[in-house]
Structure 1
Amino acid sequence: MLVTRTSSKLRPRCALQRIHKRFITLNPIPATFLRGGTSKGIFLNRAHVPEDQSQWSSIFLGIMGSPDTANGLQINGMGGGISSLSKICVVGPASPDQKARGIDAEYTFVQVGIRDTTIDLSGNCGNLSSMVGVFAMDEGLCAREPSTSSGTTTIRLLNMNTNKVIDTTFPITIAGGRVQPKLDIPQTIMAGVPGKASQITLEFISPAGACTGKLLPTGNPVDSVTIHDHEIPVSLVDATNPTVFVTHADVSRIDTDRSVHDSREMLESIRRAGAIKMGLDPNTQAQPKIAVLSPPCNPDHDIGILAFSMGVLHKAVPMTVGLCLGVAAKVEGTLAWDMTSSMRLRQAKESELIRIRHPSGVVEVGANFVDGEVLNAKVVRTGRRIMKGSVWW
């Protein structure tokens, strides 16, 4: 909640007098710690943080323990030293106008820097999006009438970073006359997460142009960037979040006899060059992402990916990148389209899922097109409530 204070100056006693109040953010602040997909993050009720987003920085850095210039472990806060564990979602009820559009709740995703003071609101997080509907129901920000006829519910969310709509569907139960999310059904295995949990389906509605306004920001399925006097083909695609795709073969072609540090610098150079071509700020590390693609090496997947987030190799795949790849694989002429040709030789239908191999396993994503426009992109996730209480900042 927010506490208020008034000036200590004496005021005339008047029942009609308007007293101006100043809101002070609580410390500690009410918070919930949740896993969504292969990410974990702090979820906050929008009513508990300042309306002015410029005031969020000190609060969120304090929560996560950033900047940690000593070792990057965020040992002084809730962060875990990697980008997938340094995230915050601020969730609020839908406005009257949003409710008229069928929106149940809105949220803003924040990527918090680890070694620096970056507070990045430029994009969305697909993994944590899977738990926003759950949090909104738990907090009473949206509700469903009790019903025994359906075992699931769908919460329609508006992501404020990208102004895109996401439907999240998950199992429910009725307790005390109230509909509540049920996350402990052992029905779904997810690569990168031990055990089974309830299935949460994410559907990103019209995901194209999340940051640039166009699926292909340059209008081309393949562009090229010049790195170390080499021309590198790249596919610049903006669906759910903008991503720079490059092939492993092209990276290897100019990456001989380089150290790991040099390789990361080269990938960052490619990412920055791609960002400029997309009309994005190259200094914003969170967007666009960069991902290295490879053709399938066995029958269990259609394409391989190594995705980098904030300059570090992701241990799985940021789900917005996975969804972007699922879309890119169905856009003729992209690098992903060329690599998934074997899938099309199997006469795959347009609605079939793309199987993506990442460092932790395989994930399936889908994308539907109508008249050349991306209708939606889908993926299955799981989630878990970890902690609810208060966090100091």
Structure 2
Amino acid sequence: MNVSLARAHGAPCPTAVLDGRAFPESEPQLLDALADLRAELSVQGAGDVLKNAIVRPSRHPLFDLDYRFVQSLPDSHDSFDLRGSCGHSILAAVEAAARTGMIQPLVPGCRVRVNVLNNGDNVVCETEETSDGGTRFTAHFLCSPPLRMPELLMTGDPVTAVPFDGSIVPVSLVSMGNPYAFVDASHLGVSGPGALFADDPLLFDAMRRLRVAVCESLGWDTFGAFPKIAALLPQEGGGLYVRAVSVPSWHPTVALTGAICLGAAAGIEGTVPWSLSGRKAAQDTDALLPVRTPGGSVRVAAHSTYGSDGEHRLAWVSVAEKQVEYRGLLPRLRRPAPQKAFAAPLASVRPSSDHVSEETPWVPLTA
């Protein structure tokens, strides 16, 4: 079994990129194979690798790669979350697929179209610059057809009141790329960016408990990593300071899907990101959104349009200048039993007997 390692700058760990043509189709067998792989990675000194990208050449004529993300959880070697995606791992997967000959070599200007089986996302990874050690990309998350902005709100409301520690905390629950809970950091006792970016275990604990409180108040499963949570503060002159929680610690920057989700949320009137980012005053939902994190800054561009019904719709969100480092193939690992077909999208967290496979729908890429 070929396993490549690649790491996008700003990601909390490398991604193990796996050839999906060699992996089992059924969910229990897939998870068993991943548990065996995780144990072998630990023996090889790669126990910190908690992200898995399973890829294969796409059977869909509009895509180059089919991609599935599986998050390893720190509880045990057989503990996983299959519900969300990872933008940094998408870029790592494209890098590894090109280096190992699964897709064409990357050259400046080329675009690799990725079909995300976890959630149906369409992602275009555009090569900016290549070198012997890695590639710099712009990632475009497409909405095809463009989505009504309110459809991104997980509860239908821009702000949801969540009971927490004896008070009510307003939280925006938005799903674009991945589901996120966005909260004004001042509601957690944070007074400024210095306090937000400090390695404060009390703040970390408060954010983890708030995520659980969000799930419990809405009757959602608290197990796993989703929805993710991020605390925000306004930047002077517009933009946001962001601190996010990853698995199992602080995120060193912010997930690529987190930046994508934040850019989309900032364009929805009434959300926490919209209120704090200065969009209310600017009245420009398509302006570049500066996002500053403990590990650096990114700029997010969200492009919206208006449908024939006059409603505001999101067409795509892009994040540029994302560098990926290719770390090469690991020593040959034990190969799982080959299967005839790549597994259909996995929606559950743990193996379940009621999972029903469905064909990935045809989705045009034009926006």
TM-score, reference length from structure 1: 0.72
Q: Aligned to 1:296, which of 229, 232, 235?
A: 235
Q: Aligned to 2:315, which of 350, 356, 375?
A: 375
2:55 aligns to what? 91
Q: Note the 1:97-116 alignment, pairs <5 A.
A: 98-99=60-61, 102-116=62-76
Q: Aligned to 1:63, which of 16, 33, 37?
A: 37
Residue 139 of structure 1, CA deviation = 3.7
| 2:252 aligned with 1:315 | yes
Residue 109 of structure 1, CA deviation = 0.7
Q: Deviations over 1:316-374 (max 9, x none)?
A: 11111121111111111111111111x665x5854332111111111111111222222
Identify if the C-alpha distance between structure 1 residues 141 and 205 changes in structure 2 by more than 3 Å, giving closer, same or farther: same
Q: Aligned to 1:79, which of 38, 47, 64?
A: 47
2:297 aligns to what? 362
Identify if the C-alpha distance between structure 1 residues 233 and 349 changes in structure 2 by more than 3 Å, giving closer, same or farther: closer
| 2:242 aligned with 1:305 | yes
Q: Secondary structure at the match of 1:269?
A: helix
1:171·1:183 contact (CA, 8 Å) conserved in 2? no
| 2:20 aligned with 1:46 | yes
Q: Note the 1:163-242 alignment, pairs <5 A.
A: 163-170=120-127, 182-184=130-132, 198-206=135-143, 214-242=151-179
The one-letter code matched in structure 2 to 1:363 is: V
Q: Distance in 2 between matches of 1:214 and 1:120?
A: 24
Q: Note the 1:336-355 alignment, pairs <5 A.
A: 336-341=273-278, 345=281, 347=282, 349-355=284-290
Q: Distance in 1 between matches of 2:123 and 2:221?
A: 25
Q: Secondary structure at the match of 1:63?
A: helix
The one-letter code matched in structure 2 to 1:87 is: K
Q: Distance in 2 between matches of 1:135 and 1:373?
A: 34
Q: Secondary structure at the match of 1:245?
A: strand
Identify if the C-alpha distance between structure 1 residues 359 and 245 changes in structure 2 by more than 3 Å, giving closer, same or farther: same
Q: Distance in 1 between matches of 2:10 and 2:318?
A: 16
Q: Deviations over 1:192-249 (max 9, x none)?
A: xxxxx64301101129999xx9400111111111112101111111111000111111
The one-letter code matched in structure 1 to 2:69 is: F
Q: Aligned to 1:388, which of 329, 335, 355?
A: 329
| 2:226 aligned with 1:272 | no
Q: Distance in 2 between matches of 1:208 and 1:340?
A: 27
The one-letter code matched in structure 1 to 2:291 is: I
The one-letter code matched in structure 1 to 2:81 is: D
Q: CA RMSD in A?
A: 3.2
Residue 184 of structure 1, CA deviation = 4.6
Residue 113 of structure 1, CA deviation = 1.5
Q: Aligned to 1:332, which of 242, 245, 269?
A: 269
Q: Distance in 2 between matches of 1:250 and 1:379?
A: 28
Identify if the C-alpha distance between structure 1 residues 322 and 208 changes in structure 2 by more than 3 Å, giving closer, same or farther: farther
1:236·1:274 contact (CA, 8 Å) conserved in 2? no
Identify if the C-alpha distance between structure 1 residues 77 and 52 changes in structure 2 by more than 3 Å, giving closer, same or farther: farther
Q: Which structure's CA Rg is the greater one?
A: 1
Which shifted more, 368-377 or 130-139? 130-139
Residue 31 of structure 1, CA deviation = 1.2
1:130·1:201 contact (CA, 8 Å) conserved in 2? no
The one-letter code matched in structure 2 to 1:282 is: T
Residue 76 of structure 1, CA deviation = 5.9
Q: Distance in 2 between matches of 1:92 and 1:362?
A: 32
Q: How many residue pairs get matched?
A: 316
The one-letter code matched in structure 1 to 2:7 is: R
Identify if the C-alpha distance between structure 1 residues 263 and 229 changes in structure 2 by more than 3 Å, giving closer, same or farther: same
Q: Distance in 2 between matches of 1:132 and 1:364?
A: 22
The one-letter code matched in structure 1 to 2:102 is: L
**Percentage identity across aligned positions?**
24
Identify if the C-alpha distance between structure 1 residues 158 and 281 changes in structure 2 by more than 3 Å, giving closer, same or farther: same
1:41·1:89 contact (CA, 8 Å) conserved in 2? yes
Q: Aligned to 2:118, which of 154, 161, 164?
A: 161
Give the gaps of 5 or more residues in structure 2. Answer: 191-198, 307-311, 335-367
Q: Deviations over 1:99-139 (max 9, x none)?
A: 1xx11110111111223232111111111211333333334
Q: Distance in 1 between matches of 2:172 and 2:298?
A: 21
Give the gaps of 5 or more residues in structure 1. Answer: 1-28, 68-73, 173-181, 186-196, 254-258
